[in-house]
Amino acid sequence: MQFVPFEDDVEVNGQTVYSVVEWVPQERWLRAFKEIGDVVGAGALYGIGLKIPECALFPPWVADVHSAIKSVDVAYHLNHRRAGSVMFDPATNTMQEGIGHYGYSPVPGERRIVSKCSTPYPCDFDKGILTAMARRFAPKAWVDHAEPETCRKRGDDACTYVITWSDD
């Protein structure tokens, strides 16, 4: 389900959109996304998703498409707090639950990664984030929504995307 927080004590790092660190209740943040989607359309949510990797905090080990996609879940948790504490601790490599995940399942022997996203963020926004992260290292990478009949837009718990790229 899009736009509905899973827990009521989660905050988002506003630095992902503003240029300063400011924590905003996730419920309010998701409501803003819903309004943008309703008023401007799904394309705007995709566009914001494309921009997110420019502003959000990412771990330092991002070096190729694989580590870029793998890092999205870590970055996601680094940019959220629950009950006042950041949801990923790099010192202990531990993650708090409560906001869902961005999956990372590489397809062996292919330039292809399957990512199942179970966040309360909109489908188009998450597709934009994955696209931008892959294109950092593979400018022609593209992202398809697998099994489009299962989508958070229809009230399902998760959407599955396939990230594909070539070396040229």
Pick the closer one to Zn ion by CB: 45 or 74. Answer: 45
Interface positions, 113-142, toward Zn ion (CB under 5 A): 123
Pick the closer one to Zn ion by CB: 22 or 157. Answer: 157
**How is 82-134 classified by DSSP, letter by letter?**
ETTEESEETTTTEE--SS--B--EEPTTSSEEEEEE-SSS-HHHHHHHHHHHH
45 binds Zn ion (CB under 5 A): no
Q: Which residues contact 117 (CB under 8 A, 6 or more apart)?
A: 100, 101, 102, 103, 123, 126, 130, 158, 159, 160, 161
Nearest Cα to Cα of residue 115 among 163, 50, 58, 67: 163
159 binds Zn ion (CB under 5 A): yes
Segment contacting Zn ion (CB under 5 A): 55-63, 66-74, 93-101, 156-164? 156-164
Which amino acid, one-letter code, is at 18?
Y
Shortest Cβ 127–Zn ion spacing (Å):
8
Dist CA 107 CA 162 (whole Å): 10
Pick the closer one to Zn ion by CB: 95 or 151. Answer: 151
Shortest Cβ 16–Zn ion spacing (Å):
20
55 binds Zn ion (CB under 5 A): no
Pick the closer one to Zn ion by CB: 97 or 144. Answer: 144
151 binds Zn ion (CB under 5 A): yes
Pick the closer one to Zn ion by CB: 2 or 13. Answer: 2
Residue count at the site for Zn ion (CB under 5 A)?
3
Other beta carbons within 10 Å of 163: 27
Backbone angles phi, psi at 21, to 5 degrees: -75, 120
Contacting positions for Zn ion (CB under 5 A): 123, 151, 159
